[in-house]
C-alpha cells in the first residue's frame, strides 16, 4: 500500500498538471479539476459541475473530502492574468443624473496559464505549478515550461491556499510518514 508523503503528493501534482497540459494540447482548454488525497495516497477526483458557483462547488468538495477522509487537495484550472485599467466613475453633476459606470480595459498582454495548486495542511505542504500559454504573431499558442513554487510566490496565492485548506475536513487523523 502506498502512503501519502510530501514527495508522492508533489509527484502526483506534477502528473495531474501534465494531464491538464495534454488536455490543452488536444482541446485548446483545460476544465477545472479537483483531486483529493487520503492518507493512504489514493487520489480521488471530485466531479465539479460547471456553472454552479464557488459556494456550491466548495460545499460539494467539502462533502466529498469529509466522506473519504481527505488530507490533501489539488486543483487545476485555466487562469487569465492581465493588467487592467479602470475608469473611475465621476460624481453626478446634479442629483437627477446617474453615475457613469466604471469601465475596465485590458492594458498590454493577457497571459493565459494552466495552474495546479496543491495543499496538505497537516504537513505544511503547498505548491503551485504554472505553465503560461504564449501566443505568437500568427496566433500559434505554445506552453512555456512549468514553473514550480510555493504559495507565497506570488503572494496572491495565499488566499487560494486558505480556500483550499478550508475544503478539507478539520478533524483529520495524524499523518503518516
* Residue 176 confidence (pLDDT) above 50: no
- What is this structure's pTM? 0.75
What nine digits make up the cell of 50? Answer: 460547471
How far is it, in rounded angstroms, from Cα 124 to Cα 167? Answer: 15
How far is it, in rounded angstroms, from Cα 9 to Cα 19? Answer: 15
| Mean pLDDT computed over every residue of the chain | 79
On whether the CB atoms of residues 130 and 123 are closer than 8 A, the answer is: no
For residue 174, tell me if it sits in a domain.
Answer: no
Number of domains in the chain: 1
For residue 1, tell me if it sits in a domain.
Answer: no
pLDDT digits (tens, 9 = 90+) for 106-164: 776 677 889 899 999 888 888 889 888 877 666 667 778 888 776 655 566 677 778 88
How far is it, in rounded angstroms, from Cα 7 to Cα 101? Answer: 50
For residue 172, tell me if it sits in a domain.
Answer: no
Domain that holds residue 145: 6-166
For residue 29, tell me if it sits in a domain.
Answer: yes
7-11, 20-24, 117-121, 149-153: least confident range: 149-153
Query: Could you tell me the CA-to-CA distances from 47 to 34, 40, 43, 76, 136 in Å, in that order?
Result: 8, 21, 13, 13, 34
- DSSP code of residue 111: E
Amino acid at each position: 500500500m502506498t502512503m501519502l508523503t510530501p514527495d508522492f503528493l508533489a509527484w502526483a501534482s506534477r502528473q495531474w498538471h501534465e494531464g491538464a497540459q495534454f488536455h490543452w494540447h488536444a482541446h485548446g482548454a483545460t476544465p477545472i479539476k479537483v483531486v483529493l488525497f487520503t492518507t493512504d495516497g489514493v487520489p480521488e477526483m471530485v466531479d465539479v459541475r460547471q456553472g454552479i458557483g464557488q459556494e456550491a462547488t466548495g460545499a460539494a468538495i467539502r462533502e466529498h473530502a469529509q466522506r473519504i477522509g481527505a488530507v490533501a487537495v489539488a486543483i487545476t484550472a485555466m487562469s487569465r492574468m492581465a493588467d487592467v485599467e479602470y475608469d473611475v466613475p465621476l460624481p453626478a453633476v446634479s442629483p437627477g443624473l446617474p453615475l457613469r459606470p466604471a469601465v475596465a480595459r485590458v492594458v498590454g498582454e493577457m497571459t493565459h496559464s494552466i495552474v495546479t495548486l496543491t495543499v496538505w495542511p497537516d504537513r505544511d505542504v503547498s505548491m503551485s505549478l504554472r505553465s503560461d500559454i504564449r501566443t505568437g504573431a500568427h496566433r500559434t499558442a505554445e506552453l512555456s515550461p512549468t514553473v514550480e513554487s510555493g504559495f507565497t510566490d506570488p503572494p496572491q496565492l495565499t488566499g487560494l491556499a486558505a480556500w483550499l485548506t478550508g475544503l478539507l475536513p478539520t478533524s483529520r487523523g495524524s499523518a503518516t510518514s
